[in-house]
Structure 1
Amino acid sequence: MKRLRSHSLSLGFGALFLGALIGQAFAGLADFNNQQVAEGLATVSLGHYVTSADFAVDVTENWQSEYLQFFLYVVLTVWWVQRGSPESKQLDERGRESDEKQKVGKYAQSDSPQWVKAGGWRTRIYSSSLGLLMVTVFLACWLVQSVAGWSTYNEQQLEQLQDPLSWLSYLGSADFWSRSLQNWQSEFLAVGSMAVFSIYLRQRGSPESKPVGTSHESTGIAG
């Protein structure tokens, strides 16, 4: 039980993710088959649907926007600050900070990660590894979304007796950018709202909130 409690955040959100993904698969299948029946076409099985371009584009267009949000948040908060928000660093700590504060180079500790103590290119890569991972996952998901969306779009084109597009042409299409931007704008709104609302509102015990009695002007202080 102690080990479960120690990993409850990752395990809990992992379970929520799987539950939501399974729910999306069944709900998406029902919606897809309703459209098939309305158009006089045959329905498909769950296995066929979850391996289809329709399901892939719906999933990946959400994943890519989430990881874009994480990437921008991780990188931009190095320099961007917000007075009074626990989501921000202290106002005078903009930038990558000193080696001493970041515990790199001669300031590395005995329990620091090996790549921190190694120095050179490995320390430089590790120093940006979180942002690099986030942008890599974002680009991978965006690529899969583009291919799956292209396949789905061309299926609709053929059903309407219209010419299909090449993949490069689809990347410049309204369909592709509509799918991307409708998710991006919601992520940017959510992050900006969280940074501002957390100046004035509190959630007792949450590391995403300041302590309940902390001044609205206090910046970079978590509960």
Structure 2
Amino acid sequence: MTWLRDNGLTLVLLALFGLSIGGQAYAGWLAAIEEMGRHGAAAPGFGEYVSDGEFLATVFENWESEFLQMSAYVVLTAHLFQRGSAESLDPDDPDRERDKVGPSLWDKLFAHSLGIAMGLLFAVSFALHLFYSAEHAAEEARLHGEAAPRLTEHLADSQFWFESFQNWQSEFLSTAVLVVLSIYLRERGSPESKPVQAPNSETGVSE
């Protein structure tokens, strides 16, 4: 039971992820069956649907935006401030630079390893979104008797960037809203909130 308590946050988030991606796959499959039915075409099997470029492109499109948000958040909060926010370091804290870094290359890499890891996850998700989006575009082109675009051509396609930017903008907005709302609002017990009685002017979550 102690293990469950100590890892509850990760376990619940992974369970919610599993339910969500399962729901996305099932609902998308039903929608694809309905769409094929309208055109008198054979309905795809579930396995066929979830291995299709269109479905996989939507999955990695969302992962891409989430990892972009988190990597930007990790790096930006290390260098920029928002006075009064629980999500910011205190710019007037004299001990802010107390976390020293060793002289070796490994020390320097480890000091930025979280930002690097999140950035790599974003890059991988972006590449997979591009690959499967291009695969879906090629399928659509073949259906219309057109030449399938090359990967580099798809990278320059406005539809691909529309897919990315429509998610990126919402991630940056939601992060900015959290930063500002944490100045004025509280959630008792959350490390993302200042103590309930803390003044709005206090920056960070320390008591």
Do they fold alike, i.e. is TM over 0.5?
yes
CA deviation profile, 1:141-183 (whole Å, cap 9, x unmatched) = 1101001001111222222333321110110111100000000
Query: Aligned partner of 1:153: which letter?
Result: A
**Aligned residue in 1 for 2:99:** 102
**Aligned residue in 2 for 1:149:** 133
Distance 1:156 1:222 in 2: 54
Unaligned stretches of 5+ in structure 1? 106-118
**Aligned residue in 2 for 1:134:** 118
| Counterparts of residues 78-97 of structure 1 (less than 5 Å) | 78-92=78-92
Q: How many equivalent pairs are there?
A: 206
Query: Aligned partner of 1:45: which letter?
Result: G
**Aligned residue in 2 for 1:33:** 33
Cα deviation for residue 222 of structure 1 reads: 4.9
Cα deviation for residue 23 of structure 1 reads: 0.9
Report if aligned partners of 2:101, 2:108 keep a CA contact under 8 Å in 1. Answer: no
Query: Aligned partner of 2:16: which letter?
Result: L
| Counterparts of residues 1-223 of structure 1 (less than 5 Å) | 1-92=1-92, 98=97, 101-105=98-102, 120-222=104-206
Query: Aligned partner of 1:122: which letter?
Result: W
Cα deviation for residue 8 of structure 1 reads: 0.3
Distance 2:147 2:124 in 1: 28
Which of structure 1's runs of 4+ aligned residues deviate more than 4 A?
Answer: none
Cα deviation for residue 103 of structure 1 reads: 4.7
Query: Aligned partner of 1:185: which letter?
Result: Q
RMSD: 1.6
CA 184–61 in structure 1, closer or farther in 2 if over 3 Å, else same? same
